[in-house]
Amino acid sequence: MSAPAELRLPRYRRDPEGTHPPLDYAGYRSTALRHPQEPLIVLPHLLTEVTGPALGPGRIGEFDNDLTQGHEGEPQGQRIIVTGRLLDGDGRPVRDSLVEIWQANAGGRYRHTGDRWPSPIDPHFDGAGRTLTDSEGRYTFTTIKPGAYPWKNHDNAWRPAHIHFSVFGSAFTQRLVTQMYFPEDPLFSQDPIFNSIPDEKARQRMIARFDLDRTEAEWALAFQFDIVVRGREASVFEDEEDEH
Amino acid sequence: MPETTPSQTVGPYLSIGLPWPDGPEVVPADEPAAIRIHGRVLDGAGDPVPDAMIETWQADADGRFDHPDDPRGAVASGFRGFGRCPTDPDGNYEIRTIKPGLVPGPAGSTQAPHIDVSVLARGLLHRVVTRIYFEDDDTSQDPVLASVPESRRSTLIATKTDEGYRFDVRLQGAGETVFFDV
């Protein structure tokens, strides 16, 4: 093993308190038996944590970012274009990086055997897509605006319309799964998953912006949604190098 | 500067968007050094979690990462190092990979072979992170394991079986797996 005597690795800022939801959240009942009860132990950012998989090249098919394609007919619902950038907390684009989405159809039903909500399955909509960010961290999906759906979490519980997003960033520390919500959804106030984020400003970062400039006339509405993964610590590494 | 987007649960239907046919295969079936890591994800009642996903990230057999931030230089090995497997109705997952090598640690120390693991599931608003170590390795000098209370270290150590290594994840309660704040 040809390791240097002392490792100098990039460091990633830990996110401020309130950014992420607690693992135990009584309002979201499914956390009850699934949240760890022991305190988490701080994991230093060592080699395994500051590196991560480069996924994507060779993994993306031609229409994987267009969820309205690939079937004999057109899916039901309102076509939308979702664009955005994948950035780190220093504003740097995360390039050539895999972005995955999954969602319900226009009637709020997932194409999944476990989803028994009696809204029709759309034979022309699977609800899954993936793409790679470009050299400026941009991604684009064409899809259908998902519907709200009921779930049994509490009395008369409905999930606000949302699209699940999964991104990797370039390090294990940056891995993120989140949900994109739509502006001014009347269901926010009663949704424990949305409201699990303690910080109000952080919660707002999950809401997409209607983007008139990107709409396509007589064809599709557009929403803009940037995703930010944590940033690097101001570089102690380079300062130290300079002194040598 | 932009601030981090919050985490949300993968929900119950993660299997629509996340699994890949070859996701659990970090190495091809004909890799002579392949090992099978398998186990179950269990909740606080000891019941299987059928809608979880395990993701793994690890070094190659030389303890190196094919990544620009590995200061020893990226290795163009083609070794993806990443595995992903949804749990089945009985909470089982399985990854086919190779044993990682020794990885440099801080201040000239050495980390025992290990795999970083993310666990995502309905009911987990944020992924939880753990590490897999191997029972037939000397882990006594590992700096991360040393930071874990001795009574709980065994939850991070995969046990050897006829078929590879077994590593169960207990999200809560007796024998709760050690999870890390990354």
Between A237 and B38, whose confidence is greater? B38
Find the range with the poorest average confidence among A8-12, A175-179, A190-194, B88-92.
Answer: A8-12
**Which token pair is B143?**
């700096």
Least confident of A150-154, B41-45, B69-73: B69-73
Residue A140 is encoded by which pair of tokens? 């684009």
Beta carbon pairs, A and B, within 8 Å: 253
CA A46 to chain centre: 25
Mean pLDDT (whole number) for B138-150: 97
Assigned domain for B53 exists: yes
- Name which of A11, A24, A31, A33 to mutate to probe chain B: the one with the most chain B Cβ atoms within 10 A of its Cβ: A33
The predicted model scores a pTM of: 0.95
What pLDDT score was predicted for residue A6?
65
Residue A1 has its nearest CB partner, among B57, B70, B102, at: B102
- CATH code at B57? 2.60.130.10
Ramachandran bin of B91, using left for φ above 0, alpha for ψ from -120 to 50, beta for the remaining angles: left
Distance from CA of A114 to the nearest CA of B (A): 8
Helix, strand, coil abundance in chain B, percent, nearest 5: 10, 35, 60
Q: Is residue B24 part of a domain?
A: no
The answer to whether the Cα torsion of A112, B19, A22, A225 is positive or negative is negative
Q: What is residue A243's predicted lDDT score, i.e. its pLDDT? A: 41
| Per-residue pLDDT band at A58 (split at 50, 70, 90) | confident
Averaged pLDDT of chain A: 93
Residue B78 lies in a domain: yes
Chain A, window 182-241: residues with a beta carbon less than 8 angstroms from a chain B beta carbon: 193, 196-197, 201-203, 205-206, 226-231
* Residue A106 pLDDT exceeds 90: yes
The closest CB to that of B81, out of A25, A45, A53, belongs to A53
Distance CA A219, CA B170 (A): 49
Q: Give mean pLDDT, residues B156-160.
A: 98
Beta carbons of B72 and A53 less than 8 Å apart: no
Arithmetic mean of pLDDT, A64-77 = 96
Name the amino acid, one letter, at B106: P
Contacts of A38 in chain B (CB under 8 A): 152, 176, 178-179
pLDDT of A244 higher than 90: no
pLDDT at A238 > cutoff 50:
no
Candidates A13, A29, A164, A214; catalytic one: A164
Which of A176, A177, A228, A232 should one mutate to test binding to chain B, selecting the residue with the greatest count of B CBs within 10 A?
A: A177
pLDDT of B177 over the 50 cut:
yes
Report whether pLDDT(B23) > 80: yes
Report how far residue B15's alpha carbon sits from residue B52's, in angstroms, rounded to the nearest whole number.
Answer: 9
Residue type, A60: I
Gap between the Cα atoms of B68 and B97, Å rounded: 22
Do the domain assignments include residue B18? no
pLDDT above 70 coverage of chain B, percent? 98
Assess contact for A183 and A209: CB atoms under 8 A.
yes
Contacts of A30 in chain B (CB under 8 A): 9, 122-123
pLDDT digits (tens, 9 = 90+) for B115-135: 999 999 999 999 999 999 999
Neighbours of B74 (CB within 10 A): 14
Range in A144-153, A232-241, B162-171 the model is least confident about: A232-241
pLDDT at position B66 is 87
Domain of B45 in residue numbering reads as 35-170
- Whether B29 is covered by a domain: the verdict is no
Provide the domain count of chain B: 1
Please check the confidence at residue A242 and state whether its pLDDT lies above 80: no
Instruction: Collect all residues of chain B within an 8 Å Cβ-Cβ radius of residue A237.
Output: none
In a domain, B154, yes or no: yes
In a domain, B178, yes or no: no
Using pLDDT thresholds of 50, 70 and 90, give the confidence band for residue A130. Answer: very high
pLDDT at B16: 96
Sign of CA pseudo-dihedral B93, B98, B104, B110: positive
Residue A236 has pLDDT above 70, yes or no: no
**What mean pLDDT is predicted for residues A36-40?**
97
Residue B159 distance to chain A (closest CA, Å): 22
CB contact under 8 A, A3 and B104: yes
Q: What is the pLDDT of residue B72?
A: 86
A47 and B129 within 8 Å at the Cβ level: the answer is no
Q: What is the 3-state secondary structure (H, E, C) of A117-170?
A: CCCCCCCCCCCEEEEECCCCCEEEEEEECCCCEEECCCCCEEECCEEEEEECCC
| Known active-site residue A110 | yes
Residue A239 has pLDDT above 50, yes or no: no
| Contact across the interface for A172 and B57, Cβ inside 8 Å | yes
CA A105 to chain B, closest CA, distance in angstroms equals: 12
**What is the mean predicted confidence (pLDDT) over B164-168?**
97
Please confirm, yes or no, whether A159 is among the known catalytic residues: yes
**Residue of chain A minimizing CA distance to B113:** A48
Q: Which of B3, B65, B173 sits opposite A51 (nearest CB)?
A: B65
CB distance from A125 to chain B under 8 Å?
A: no
Cβ contact, residue pair A23, B182, below 8 Å: no
Tell whether the model's pLDDT for residue A123 goes beyond 70.
yes
Chain B residues whose beta carbon lies within 8 Å of the beta carbon of residue A90: 1
Q: What is the mean pLDDT of residues B77-98?
A: 94
Among A139, A149, A181, A232, the active-site one is A149
Domain membership flag for residue B94: yes
pLDDT of residue A91: 96
Residue B22 has pLDDT above 50, yes or no: yes
Task: Mark whether A25 is an active-site residue.
Answer: no
For B47, nearest residue in chain A (alpha carbons): A33
Surface-to-core class of residue A1, CB atoms within 10 Å of its CB (0-12 exposed, 13-18 middle, 19+ buried): exposed
Residue B49 is predicted with a pLDDT of: 98
Q: Which domains does chain A have, with CATH numbers?
A: 9-233 (2.60.130.10)
pLDDT of A235 reads: 57
Give the residue-averaged pLDDT of B81-95: 97
CB contact under 8 A, B124 and A102: no
pLDDT at B79: 86
Q: What is the mean pLDDT of residues B158-179?
A: 96
